[in-house]
Amino acid sequence: MTEITLHEADLPAGLDLGPIVAVDTEAMGLNPHRDALCVVQLSSGDGTAHVVRLTRDFDCPNLKALLADPKVLKIFHFARFDVAMMKKWLAVDCAPIWCTKIASKLARTYTDQHGLKHVAKEIAGVDLSKAQQSSDWGRAELTQAQLEYAASDVLHLHAIREGLTVMLEREGRLALAEACFDFLPVRADLDLAGWAESDIFSHAS
């Protein structure tokens, strides 16, 4: 049975989520310079989820320490967005990182459907609801539906990572994926610095 724990402002001191933690964020929108980070949800992969509703002073030293801990691998789906939001609003360089969206694009080349809903369905056999994706995450009290949605985005990332790792190893692309993961903090820095829409590696001017 899924257990969801809501924390106000920060994670409790001393909470140990293990060496591999699934992480996701919710914000007021998709523009990191305009839209505030509101929620960070985490799971150790044991069926429990911890949802942190941030305050606008972003005073969350325990959460920041976990996100920056070099000994804890953070699993994301589309880490590029989450890492940029954390850099902008929490002033945290989040690493090391494992991104299931990048892994899916490198491993599941037989499809163009790499959203979490599609990846979770195929790899983990889970049918996720995205009904609360566009809702007011800045509200003073999160609804039960919001909490369940936030939790669902992290509860299955460990299983998805395991499945995609098998595929990447089979196709000989795991090292390539890991190099992409290592580059993600730089990609987030480029997004924040104004190069979100341009491909600086492209020959085109």
Quote the CA–CA distance of 103 and 154 in Å, as a whole number: 16
CA-based nearest residue to 52, from 82, 25, 76, 33:
25
DSSP 200: T
| Distance of alpha carbon 70 from alpha carbon 92, whole angstroms | 12
pTM: 0.95
Q: Tens of pLDDT along the chain (205 residues)?
A: 589 999 999 999 999 999 999 999 999 999 999 999 999 999 999 999 999 999 999 999 999 999 999 999 999 999 999 999 999 999 999 999 999 999 999 999 999 999 999 999 999 999 987 766 679 999 999 999 999 999 999 999 999 999 999 999 999 999 999 999 999 999 999 999 999 999 999 998 6
Whole-number Cα distances in Å, 93 to 71, 84, 85, 182, 185: 14, 9, 10, 12, 7
Residue ranges and CATH numbers for the domains of the chain are 3-194 (3.30.420.10)
DSSP code of residue 189 = H
CA 161, 163, 165, 171 torsion-angle sign: negative
